Each structure stands twice: as C-alpha cells, then as structure tokens.
Structure 1
Amino acid sequence: MRVRQQREGGGPAIVPERDLAIDLARFFCLALVVVGHTMMVSPVLHPDGTVTTENTLGLQRWFGAVIWVLQVMPLFFVAGGITGLQSWRRLRARGGNAFDFMQARMLRLIRPAAVLLACMYTGLWAARLAGVDPQVVQLLVTGAGMPLWFLAAYLAAQLNLPLLAALHSRAPWLTLTGLASLVVAVDCLRGVLPLLAYANMIFLWCAVQQLGFIIADNLRLPLRRSALVGIIAGGNLGLGVLVLLGLYPGNMLVNLNPPNLSLLFLGISQAAALKLFRPGLSRLASAGWVRRLVAVAGRRSMTIYLWHLPLLAAMSGLLLLTGFPQPAGGSAAWWWGRPLVLLAVTALLLPVLALFGRLEERPTASAHARSRPAAAVVTAAVVVFIPVSDAALNGLTLGLLGGGAACFALAALLLGRVPVRTAADALPDGSGPALPRPPLSANVEP
C-alpha cells in the first residue's frame, strides 16, 4: 500500500511505497551472512599458546557446492541497484544532484563504521595493555575487520550510481557490456599485475549493480517464467564452464576477494531468480509480522552487518581466555553448539543496536539548509577510501583501525547533515512530492 503524508498546505501527498519483496530479499541475505559467519569462525588454541582461526565450514567437502548456491553477495548489489536507482531518480525530481546523493549515501554508511572502528581500536588497545598476546589481538583485528571490504565495495558502487544511471538511460546494454569487458580485462591481466585485480572491486560490483537497474526498469522485456528459468540455468551453466576450464575456482568464497567474472555470472542468475520469485516474496513480505521484522532489521542493517563479526570474534577470544570447553571444529558437539553461538551473538547485538543503531538514520538539517559544496563531498570520499585502500592492499592492523576511525569521522564532519527539501521548493511549480518533516525515517533508500 502507499503511505500518505501531509503536504505543508495540509493536503495529502502520496509517497512512493517501499518494495517489500526487495526488503525481504535483503533481509534474507543479511540473515544468511550472519548465520554463515557463526559457522566459519572457529579459533583454535594450540599447546604452545599460539592461536589460529579455522574456517570449519569451508573445510567441509560439501561446502563448495553449497556456497555456489548460498553466495548471496551479488544479490546484495542487485538489490542495491534497484533501490539506489529509484532513490536517485526521486532525489533528482526534487531538485537534488549527484553530490546530494553521494552525501546521503556516505553518511548512512560511514557514520556506523566510524563508531565501530573507534570501539574496536579502543577495545583492542585495552586488551594489549591488559597483557593479551599481540598475536591474538592481530587475529581479532583481521577477522573482525572482514566486513569492511563490503562497505568499501558497496560505497564505491553507490557513489558511481548517478553516472552509471545516466549511461544506463542512454544505452543500458552497452553500459553493462562495457563494465563486463573491463572485468574480463582485469582478470586477464591480474596474473601479470596482481594488484590490478582489486580494480574489480569497482568494475565487477558496478556491473552487478547494473543488473539491478535492468530489473528496476524492466526494459520493456516482460519475460515469461520459462525465460527466467532459462537465464538462471544459463548463468550457472556459463559459470560451470569457466570452472571446468580451470579459469576460476569452483569455490565462490575464494572468488569473492578480489572479485572476478564468475560473480557476474552468479549475479545474472540471482537477478533472474529475484525477478522470478518476486511475486511470491511480495506475498510473504505483506504478512504483518514479516513486514515488522524486516522493517526493524532494515533500519539497522548496516549496524548488524558491521558489528556481528567483531562481536563473534570477541566472544570467541574471551572464551579461549577463560578456558571454556571448546569442542573440536567440525565435531558433533561443535555443530550442536552453533545455534547457541548464533543466539549469543544476537543477544550481544541487541545493546549495540540500541546504542548505535540510530547512527544509520538519515541526518537532516532545517528545511532550507543548503547542500554541501561538491569539493567537500569529493574530499570526504577521498578521505574515506585512503584507509580502505590501505587495508585492502596491505591488510588491516590495529594502527589502521585508529587511522580509519579518524578518517571516517573527518569525512562525516566534511559531509555535515543532509538538507531536506520541502514540497514547495521541490519543483519550480511547487508540485513535487512532499517529504516528511525532520527527522526522516532511517532508511535512505525508500
């Protein structure tokens, strides 16, 4: 249903409804990532006192086949392309520009990340001062910082969205083909220039995001269910051929960082699956309890994503220090304990969401505040990607956690607050869609 809100003149205004099917798909992806990580993180304390981590789930024989189906990261970017394109077009209709879009996207993503980095830096330095072995601290830094790569990749794709949307409006298939060609070129050269492989953190995920654009517009292609099933099968068949030829590993987790062409084929299959099952997802998402659950999780999705792995790593480390019985990874006792681990991580997330979840809310200023200068927005983007690039190329360290927190905080200061345009100044004739008065709801992708 549509949500009615009041114009400043008192009349009702129709605000575009959220796509409940896309919200439910993103909730499913988030839940799957959290559950998957609880089965991957398994620290091991050796007799000589050293500590290592073991990816228990990844060591299972059946893991390669399962992760082929459950590697949902491409679906995240497909959904982000759908909601991002719609959000960008509404912002532009209200008189906003690309820098307004970039400002809002960066604020939503970097504010919760800045707090996470600061808390991790403070907590781990306290652990060092308390006598915790530096090796254990570095292990926690490396493991807990893993979600940050997604933040960097998603932010890069979203910051390029206005440009890619313009190209999409002129030549959608040519734009997608061009991005796919860049992905192939990088894959061909990564053997000679290994660092070039990280360029696909931009090209690959922007290409997958374009698939979301295509779904959002439908491009006048009312595909039948049989055609969508054929696309799903074709995407997986193409991926299978690449694997059988030995061009890429069959393990989709290995293909994730840095990403490669295999994930584009996976993204094509998942985009078609999303379109195929969208009517069923809409019916399921319309149930009251599902809608409420998805809405609560959606308003705090980035906080959940960023914090769940650091909390899991910290909990696992503390259990090692206390001598709590640790069943061997992959044993029956270990598997039976996974639901308890998931429950414990969920319990730890609740106070974090209460304390820091509001940082995801769209910050607003007065109704007539001016947008930030383009130079401030571009500078903020550069400041954010300096520590992110360092972490991608050289690995995350305790010092980089502190530097990253400082850079993210500086970027947030540069970006300021997102101005709110009223109905009266949305369009020259005052006929533009109304916005709710501050404070706005949390999700900046309505």
Structure 2
Amino acid sequence: MPEQAPRAHAPRHPLHALRLGARRLDAATPASRDRAVDALRALAILGVVLGHWLVTALVAQDGALHTESPLGHQSWLTPVSWLFQTLAVFFLVGGHVATRSLATAQTRGDSYGHWLRARMARLLRPVTALLALWTVTAAALLLGGTPLATVHSLVKLALSPLWFLLVFAALTAATPLVARLNPLWPLAVVLHVDLLRFGLHVGPSWLGWTNLAAGWLVPYTLGAAWARGELRSRRSARALLFGGTAATVLLVGCAGYPASMVGVPGAAVSNLNPPTLAAVTFGLAQCGLALSLRDRLRRAAARPLVWAAVALVNLSAMTVFLWHQTAMMAATATGLVAGRLPGLHTAPDSLLWVAYRLAWLPVFAVALALCLAAFRHRERGPRRTRRGSSRVVHRHLPPSKSPRHA
C-alpha cells in the first residue's frame, strides 16, 4: 500500500498560541531591561483610563449632552480619585526613562537634537490623527444641527489629554536642565504659589498655572534621581510614601484642600487644574509606593504572560491615553440609538449608576481596542525594512530562535 501523506498539524489552541507567543516575547527581551519600569508605566496609564471612565459621565438632558461627575453627587466615591489618579507615577517613570535615555545617547555620541527628535516623534505623532478626526467630527456635528453645548462637551473631553502631553513634552525637552535638579526646588515653588493663592489671596489670576510645570516637575525629577541611583533604598521609598501621605492628610484636614485628587465640576477649587500642593504631596506618596513595589513588579513581570500584557500596553501607551476618552464617547453616542441608558446617559447620582457604569467598562474597552487597531500605527511610525528589523531581532533573540518566528 502506498504510504499515506503525513497529516497536517492540528491548529493550536488559542491559549497555547498565546502562551507560546508570550514565551517568545519573554525570550526576546534583553536581560538588562528593568521590567518594573514598564510595569509602572502600564499601571499608570491604565489607572488614568479607568479613572476617567469611572468619574466622567455624559448626561443626556434637554436635547444635549452635558459633562457631570459622580464625585459631585456622591462624596463617598472620593477614594476612587486616590486610587486612579496616577499621573505622578507616569511622570516619575518619564523622568527616569528620559534621564537614562539621554545618558545613553550622549555615550553613543548622539546630539541633543537627534535625541529630542526621536523622543518627540513617539509622543506627538499620534496627536495628528486625533486632531484631524475631531476637527472633521466637530464640523460634521455642527453642520448637522448638534447643539453647540454638546459639541463643546465632546471636544473638550476628547482633547483634554493633550494638556498632559504638552507638559510631558516640555519636561522631556528640558531633561538636560532638570536631570540633576533637587525635587525640593519645584516643591518649594508650589508651596509659595499656594501660599500666595490660598493663604494671602494675592497675586494675578494666572499665578496658579505656574504649578502646572512646577507640580509635575517634582515627580519628574524624582524619576531622574532614581535613574542616578539615589532612590534605590527601601528607606527612601518609605520616606516618600509616609511623608507624602502625612502631608496630604494635614493639607486636606487642616488647610481646606479638596479631598478629591481630580477636578469635580462646580467645585470652587480643583487639586488638578492647576496642581495644588495637596496634589503634589499626594504624588510624592504615590511615587514612594511605586518605588517600594519595584521588586514585586519585577518578579511579577518575569512571568511571560504578565510581561506580554505589560509590553502590549507600553507599545501603545500614547495611543491608549489619547483615544480612551474618544472610545468612551463613541460608545455613549452609539448607545443613544437605544435611548437613555442607565450608567451611560443618566445622572451619576446613585449607587445604581455606579453598578451600571462598571458593567459598561468592557464596552468602553472594546471601543478602545477598535481605536488601537485603527490608530496604533501612528505611534509606531513608519515600518522598518526587513533588513533593519532582522538586525534588532538577531540582537535580542537567543541563537536557537529564528527571526521568522520572533
């Protein structure tokens, strides 16, 4: 009898393929890479995204959409802002990464201009797609008769992440000047600005916006100090954690600062716009907690599946940050076809709203995944040639792995 042809391999189970891909990614990662840094960045981005999705409500009323916050109706939700307002951790990681990157570039002999262009390209490239889409969307809504109040609310939410990106870009550009700056100096600026604003009630109306740079410069310079090896001990992490926590409690309890670490519509004072001293001391506590978790995060990220998830978030960090509000609004607008849905278009004034909003989070995540599929290439930039890519793969893959399987 003639020999039977060999059977084709049965398709792998999706979970097996996922684990295999995660192991390959784990093997391709250089041993020198500090995975705790990537894990902290991923946690910071996801914290901001979940925080916005939980405390931002678009309420359909009088034929228009208005922005409201459950924090304005339910004060017991204030701890949510403590958990998900993680921008200080992102600036901490940003200062650490930029300082190390600049030092590496200088060692290679690269100029500051070359280094800065490479850093800015990754930050600012995804912005063009966001601005283009919302320019067309806003014009179409206005021409279609959408109320101006609705268009204003939508555009404001969609473009709100840009303030963070502009500050982060400015601090990145100033890295050579601030890399060795003691964090106490920008902290002193924030302290004096708040003393003039809230203590003496003097100074111009724009004075508080000085804290927009000074406030976020504090965790950024902490990240630079971390890159220099000055915050490696557990003692320094605990000092930041407990010192920042104690200062924040005193400022909120005795000095009248708001307890919420995000802005609440209608509130007289916001801890975030511009950053107040309470927001900065809270950020110090967050940085201390982040630094104290480094060893645990390294051990967790050593697992291939965990590392694959961390790497995926980091590869699309700016796209996730820029488009998460748009994803939420797209889901909200699509839901209007079915009428006013609880947790999506209703006032955030009850515990039931919170339960419904939690149920909507997977829908927002799917909408964000669609945005990632459409716009992630803007962050990665033009594809490299096959020859250039293989050099990178050959460099990081063990000899037993072939580039084709990377």
Which residue of the partner structure matches residue 223 of structure 1?
233
- Does the Cα contact within 8 Å between 1:140 and 1:314 map onto a contact in 2? no
Bigger Rg over Cα: 2
CA deviations 1:257-311 (Å, max 9, x no partner) are 1112223322322222222111111111111111111111111110011001022
| Whole-Å separation in 1 of the counterparts to 2:124 and 2:234 | 40
| Whole-Å separation in 2 of the counterparts to 1:202 and 1:237 | 24
Within the candidate set 162, 167, 176, 1:153 is matched to 167
Amino acid of the structure 2 residue aligned with 1:117: L
| Whole-Å separation in 1 of the counterparts to 2:352 and 2:232 | 50
Within the candidate set 297, 301, 304, 1:285 is matched to 301
When residues 259 and 232 of structure 1 are mapped into structure 2, their CA distance, relative to the original with a 3 A threshold, is same
- Does the Cα contact within 8 Å between 1:78 and 1:267 map onto a contact in 2? no
Which residue of the partner structure matches residue 273 of structure 2?
257
| TM-score (normalised: structure 2) | 0.78
- Give the drift of 1:364: 8.7
- Give the drift of 1:50: 4.2
Which residue of the partner structure matches residue 212 of structure 1?
223
Q: Report the count of equivalent residues.
A: 354
- Does the Cα contact within 8 Å between 1:215 and 1:271 map onto a contact in 2? no
CA deviations 1:87-140 (Å, max 9, x no partner) are 111111111222222212221111101110110111121122222222211111
Amino acid of the structure 2 residue aligned with 1:107: A
- Give the drift of 1:231: 3.6
| Whole-Å separation in 1 of the counterparts to 2:341 and 2:286 | 40
Within the candidate set 348, 351, 355, 1:336 is matched to 355
- Does the Cα contact within 8 Å between 1:74 and 1:263 map onto a contact in 2? no
RMSD of the TM alignment (CA)?
3.0
Amino acid of the structure 2 residue aligned with 1:31: L
Which residue of the partner structure matches residue 354 of structure 1?
373
| Whole-Å separation in 2 of the counterparts to 1:247 and 1:283 | 41
- Give the drift of 1:210: 0.7
Q: 1:46-445 alignment to 2 at 5 Å?
A: 46=61, 48-165=62-179, 168=180, 172=181, 175-190=182-197, 191-219=202-230, 223-224=233-234, 228-246=237-255, 248-253=257-262, 254-320=270-336, 322-326=338-342, 328=346, 329-361=348-380, 436=392
Unaligned runs of 5+ in 1: 6-13, 367-419, 421-434, 441-446
| Whole-Å separation in 1 of the counterparts to 2:79 and 2:370 | 36
Amino acid of the structure 2 residue aligned with 1:130: G
| TM-score (normalised: structure 1) | 0.72
- Give the drift of 1:251: 2.0
Amino acid of the structure 1 residue aligned with 2:325: L
Tell me which moved more, 34-43 or 324-333: 324-333
| Whole-Å separation in 2 of the counterparts to 1:64 and 1:337 | 18
| Whole-Å separation in 1 of the counterparts to 2:111 and 2:222 | 23
When residues 232 and 56 of structure 1 are mapped into structure 2, their CA distance, relative to the original with a 3 A threshold, is same
| Whole-Å separation in 2 of the counterparts to 1:318 and 1:364 | 34
- Give the drift of 1:362: 5.5
- Give the drift of 1:333: 4.4
Which residue of the partner structure matches residue 47 of structure 2?
32
When residues 135 and 267 of structure 1 are mapped into structure 2, their CA distance, relative to the original with a 3 A threshold, is closer
- Does the Cα contact within 8 Å between 2:95 and 2:221 map onto a contact in 1? yes
Unaligned runs of 5+ in 2: 1-22, 263-269, 397-406
When residues 129 and 86 of structure 1 are mapped into structure 2, their CA distance, relative to the original with a 3 A threshold, is same
When residues 45 and 267 of structure 1 are mapped into structure 2, their CA distance, relative to the original with a 3 A threshold, is closer
Which residue of the partner structure matches residue 372 of structure 1?
none
